[in-house]
C-alpha cells in the first residue's frame, strides 16, 4: 500500500489544481469548450455542494454514463474527492445492462447524457435520488426538493460559501486513505455478464505513479482521449494521469473513426498516444499496405540498405500522420496483429505494447519504446508496483498469468464466489490469460484460458494466433476461429466488403478466394491447427468498448 502523501490519490489532485490553476486542463474537441484547472476545480466544488444538498455520505455510490466530455471528468473527480465511490458505466452498454449496474451498485445519484437516458425508465431505478444531465447539468428526475438542487440554486450556494471567489488556495479535499474504495468499474468482458471491480484508490494511484515516473505524462503534455473514459485504460492514462501531472486532455466524444482521429492528431499534435490495436491496424491497412504492395516498393524492401531508406520514409509519413510530436504510441486492450507489429518494428516506429485488465486499473506490464521493449512482448511487470508469474507452466513455459501488487482490485462487488475464484489461495490474481516469461523477464501473451482449444491429441491451440494470420489476408476484415463438436476448426470470416466491391469480385469469386486463403493459412500452421472450412459472416462481430470480439455470442454458430 502506498502511504506516502505524494502518492495519496486525493492529495495528488489537490496539488495539481493548485499548481496548474491557469493551465488548460480539458477540451471538448470540436467545440469551443476548454476548461482551465481553475475552472474545472470550480465545477468540482459546485458538485460537492450538490452532493451535500442531496445528503450524499462518504462511500455512497455515484454513477456516470455518457460520451467523453468535460462534465464527465468533473463528475468523476468530484465524486472521488468528496469521498464517494464513482461507478462509471460504458455509454455503449444497453439500457437493461445500465439499469442492472445502477441498481446492483446502489447508486444514489446518476449523471447521464440525454441520449443514454432515453432508454431508461425512472421506475426501473427506484433507489436513485436524482438524475442529472451530463449535457447541461439540468435535473432530469428528482426524488428531492427541485428548488435545492437545480443549477441556479447550486450557483447561489456556491457564492454564499465563497463570497470572495474560489481560488487555488481554496482547493482542499478531505483526507482519504488509499485503502478506501475509489471506483466500482463494471467489466465489458468477452465471455458474458459484467462484474463490478472494486478498485481502491491505491490501484488508481499506482497507475498514475508509473505514468509520471516514466514521463508518459507531464505538465503541458497533450493527450487525445478517444478511448471511453468509463474503460480503465483510457481513464487511467488519458484522464487521471494526464490531469495529475498538469497535462491537457482533448476529449473526443464521437465514434473514433481513423479519419476523425487523424484529423485530431494533426491539429492537436499529442505528446503520447494511447490506442487499441484495431485503430492502428485499420490505419496500417489503409495507409501502409497499399504502398508496400506496389512492385517498386515491394522489391526495394527486399534489398539490404535500400530498404532502410524506404522504411525511413514510411516511418516519417506515419509519424507525421499522428501529429509528429509524440514520444511513443502505447498499444493495449487487446493483442496486436503480429504482422502489423513486425512491420512497425522494422521501420522503427515509436510504439510499445502493454498488458493489463480492468481488475488492475489496468496496467500490469509495460516497457517504454526507448528502453528495449521486445518484439511480440508486452513488456516487463511494472517495477516496484506489480509482480507476475506463470501458474502451472507446460513444457513450453506457457501457463496462466497471475499477478499481484499495488494496482490489484480487492474483489468483485456483491460477488464473493467470483472473487474467491479469481484469486489463488496465496493471494495472486488469476488473469485468465495464457502466457510465458522469457529469460529477460519479458511477458508474452498466448491467448485466453477460456478460448484455448485442444487438438485431437491434446495439443494446445490458440485461436487468436490463427485469426491473426487470417486477418492479414486481402479482403478480410476480421475473423473468429471456433471448434465444432467433432473437434474440427471453423473460421467465421467477415469480408472487407469495401475492398470486395472495389475489386468487382462476385460472390462465387469471393468463395473461391476464401478457399484459397484457407489453404494458404493452413500451409503456415501445424496439422492440428488446420482450418476445415471458412464460413462467411455478413457484418462485423459484436465487440466490447475496447474492441475485443464477444466470442461467447458466436460459439453456437459452428
| 481 and 423 within one domain | no
- Give the three cell numbers for residue 15: 496539488
197, β-bridge pairs = 185, 412
- Is position 11 within any domain? yes
Distance between CA atoms of 163 and 138, rounded to whole angstroms? 24
- Is position 487 within any domain? yes
Segment 443-450 shows an average pLDDT of 86
Stronger pLDDT, 292 or 88, i.e. the higher one: 88
User: What pLDDT sits at residue 448?
Assistant: 78
| 168 and 81 within one domain | yes
CATH number, domain containing residue 97: 3.40.50.12780
DSSP state string for 387-418: EEEEES--TTS-EEEEEEETT---EETT-HHH
Distance between CA atoms of 538 and 516, rounded to whole angstroms? 19
Q: Check pLDDT > 70 for residue 93.
A: yes
From the CB of residue 281, how many other CB atoms can be counted at a distance below 10 Å? 22
User: What pLDDT sits at residue 144?
Assistant: 67
Distance between CA atoms of 12 and 6, rounded to whole angstroms? 7
User: What pLDDT sits at residue 190?
Assistant: 43
- Give the three cell numbers for residue 269: 499534435
| 405 and 457 within one domain | no
CATH number, domain containing residue 520: 3.30.300.30
Confidence of residue 285 (pLDDT cuts 50, 70, 90): confident
| 474 and 357 within one domain | no
Rounded to the nearest 10 degrees, the angle between the axes of helix 9-19 and helix 37-53 is: 130
| 144 and 159 within one domain | yes
| 429 and 457 within one domain | no
Distance between CA atoms of 54 and 48, rounded to whole angstroms? 10
Among 183, 198, 213, the domain-final residue is 198
Q: How does pLDDT run across 483-513, given as a tens digit for each residue? A: 987 878 999 999 998 889 999 999 999 999 9
Distance between CA atoms of 71 and 114, rounded to whole angstroms? 13
User: What pLDDT sits at residue 449?
Assistant: 76
- Is position 320 within any domain? yes
353, β-bridge pairs = 331
Rounded to the nearest 10 degrees, the angle between the axes of helix 463-471 and helix 507-522 is: 130
Query: For residue 77, is the peptide bond before it cis, meaning its omega torsion is within 30 degrees of 0?
Result: no
Q: How does pLDDT run across 145-156, given as a tens digit for each residue? A: 766 678 888 999
| 173 and 319 within one domain | no
User: What pLDDT sits at residue 301?
Assistant: 83
Among 448, 465, 491, the domain-final residue is 448
Q: How does pLDDT run across 191-242, given as a tens digit for each residue? A: 446 799 999 999 999 999 999 999 999 999 999 999 899 989 999 999 999 9
Distance between CA atoms of 378 and 352, rounded to whole angstroms? 8
| 490 and 357 within one domain | no
Question: Which span out of 200-209, 518-527, 541-550 was modeled with the highest average pLDDT?
Answer: 200-209
Residue 491: which domain range?
453-557
Determine which of 298-302, 330-334, 411-415, 438-442 has the lowest per-residue pLDDT on average. Answer: 298-302
Stronger pLDDT, 475 or 527, i.e. the higher one: 475
- Is position 233 within any domain? no
Distance between CA atoms of 524 and 466, rounded to whole angstroms? 9
243, β-bridge pairs = none
Q: How does pLDDT run across 27-80, given as a tens digit for each residue? A: 999 999 999 999 999 999 999 999 999 999 999 999 999 999 999 999 999 999
- Is position 499 within any domain? yes
| 59 and 192 within one domain | yes
Q: Number of structural domains, the chain?
A: 3
Strand, coil or helix: 557: helix
- Is position 23 within any domain? no
Among 448, 466, 499, the domain-final residue is 448
Name the region of 76 (left: φ>0; alpha: ψ -120 to 50; beta: rest). alpha
Cβ atoms of 331 and 352 closer than 8 Å: yes
- Is position 258 within any domain? no
User: What pLDDT sits at residue 129?
Assistant: 93
Q: What is the 3-state secondary structure (H, E, C) of 62-76?
A: EEEECCCCHHHHHHH
- Is position 261 within any domain? no
Segment 416-421 shows an average pLDDT of 95
User: What pLDDT sits at residue 97?
Assistant: 86
Burial of 505 (0-12, 13-18, 19+ CB in 10 A): middle
| 442 and 459 within one domain | no
What value does the mean pLDDT of the chain take? Answer: 91
| 510 and 430 within one domain | no
User: What pLDDT sits at residue 192?
Assistant: 47
**For the chain, percent of residues with pLDDT exceeding 90:** 71
End-to-end distance of the chain based on CA atoms, in angstroms?
48
| 57 and 184 within one domain | yes
86, β-bridge pairs = 62, 183
Amino acid at each position: 500500500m502506498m502511504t506516502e502523501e505524494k502518492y495519496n490519490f486525493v492529495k495528488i489532485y489537490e496539488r495539481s489544481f493548485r499548481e496548474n490553476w491557469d493551465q488548460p486542463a480539458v477540451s471538448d474537441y470540436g467545440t469551443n469548450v476548454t476548461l482551465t484547472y481553475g475552472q474545472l476545480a470550480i465545477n468540482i466544488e459546485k458538485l460537492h455542494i450538490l452532493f451535500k444538498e442531496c445528503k450524499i455520505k462518504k462511500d455512497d455510490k455515484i454513477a456516470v454514463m455518457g460520451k467523453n466530455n468535460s462534465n464527465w471528468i468533473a463528475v468523476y473527480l468530484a465524486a472521488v474527492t468528496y469521498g464517494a465511490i464513482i461507478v462509471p458505466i460504458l455509454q455503449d452498454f444497453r439500457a437493461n445492462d445500465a439499469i442492472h449496474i445502477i441498481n446492483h451498485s446502489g447508486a444514489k445519484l446518476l449523471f447521464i447524457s440525454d441520449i443514454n437516458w432515453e432508454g431508461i425508465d425512472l421506475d426501473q431505478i427506484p433507489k436513485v435520488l436524482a438524475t442529472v444531465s451530463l449535457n447541461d447539468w439540468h435535473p432530469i428526475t428528482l426524488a428531492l426538493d427541485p428548488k435545492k438542487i437545480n443549477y441556479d440554486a447550486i450557483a447561489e450556494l456556491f457564492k454564499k460559501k465563497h463570497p470572495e471567489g474560489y481560488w487555488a488556495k481554496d482547493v482542499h479535499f478531505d483526507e482519504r486513505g488509499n485503502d478506501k474504495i475509489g471506483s466500482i468499474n463494471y467489466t465489458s468482458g468477452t465471455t458474458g455478464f459484467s462484474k463490478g471491480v472494486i478498485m481502491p484508490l491505491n490501484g488508481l494511484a499506482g497507475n498514475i505513479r508509473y505514468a509520471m515516473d516514466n514521463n508518459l505524462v507531464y505538465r503541458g503534455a497533450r493527450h487525445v482521449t478517444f478511448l471511453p473514459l468509463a474503460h480503465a485504460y483510457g481513464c487511467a492514462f488519458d484522464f487521471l494521469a494526464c490531469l495529475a501531472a498538469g497535462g491537457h486532455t482533448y476529449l473526443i466524444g464521437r465514434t473514433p473513426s481513423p479519419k476523425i482521429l487523424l484529423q485530431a492528431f494533426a491539429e492537436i499534435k499529442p505528446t503520447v498516444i494511447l490506442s487499441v490495436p484495431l485503430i492502428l491496424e485499420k490505419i496500417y491497412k489503409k495507409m501502409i499496405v497499399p504502398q508496400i504492395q506496389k512492385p517498386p516498393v515491394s522489391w526495394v524492401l527486399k534489398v539490404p540498405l535500400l530498404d532502410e531508406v524506404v522504411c525511413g520514409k514510411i516511418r516519417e509519413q506515419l509519424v507525421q500522420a499522428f501529429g509528429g510530436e509524440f514520444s511513443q504510441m502505447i498499444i493495449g486492450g487487446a493483442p496486436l496483429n503480429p504482422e502489423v507489429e513486425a512491420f512497425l518494428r522494422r521501420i522503427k516506429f515509436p510504439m510499445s505494447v502493454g498488458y493489463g485488465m480492468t481488475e488492475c486499473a489496468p496496467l500490469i506490464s509495460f516497457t517504454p519504446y526507448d528502453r528495449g521493449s521486445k518484439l511480440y512482448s508486452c513488456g516487463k511487470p511494472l517495477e516496484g508496483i506489480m509482480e507476475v508469474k506463470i501458474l502451472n507452466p507446460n513444457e513450453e513455459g506457457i501457463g496462466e498469468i497471475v499477478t499481484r501488487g499495488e494496482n490489484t482490485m480487492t474483489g468483485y462487488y456483491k460477488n464473493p464466489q467470483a472473487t474467491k475464484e479469481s484469486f489463488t489461495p496465496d493471494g495472486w490474481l488469476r488473469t485468465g490469460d495464457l502466457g510465458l516469461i522469457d529469460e529477460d523477464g519479458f511477458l508474452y501473451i498466448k491467448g485466453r484460458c477460456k478460448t484455448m482449444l485442444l487438438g485431437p491429441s491434446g495439443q494446445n491451440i490458440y485461436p487468436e494466433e490463427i485469426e491473426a494470420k487470417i486477418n492479414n489476408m486481402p479482403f478480410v476484415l476480421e475473423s473468429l476461429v471456433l471448434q465444432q463438436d467433432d473437434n474440427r476448426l471453423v473460421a467465421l470470416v467477415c469480408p472487407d466488403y469495401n475492398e470486395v466491391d472495389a475489386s468487382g469480385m462476385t460472390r462465387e469469386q469471393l468463395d473461391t478466394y476464401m478457399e484459397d486463403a484457407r489453404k494458404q493459412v493452413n500451409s503456415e500452421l501445424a496439422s492440428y491447427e488446420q482450418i476445415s472450412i471458412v464460413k462467411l459472416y455478413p457484418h462485423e462481430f459484436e465487440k466490447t468498448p475496447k474492441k475485443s470480439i464477444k466470442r461467447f455470442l458466436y460459439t453456437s454458430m459452428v
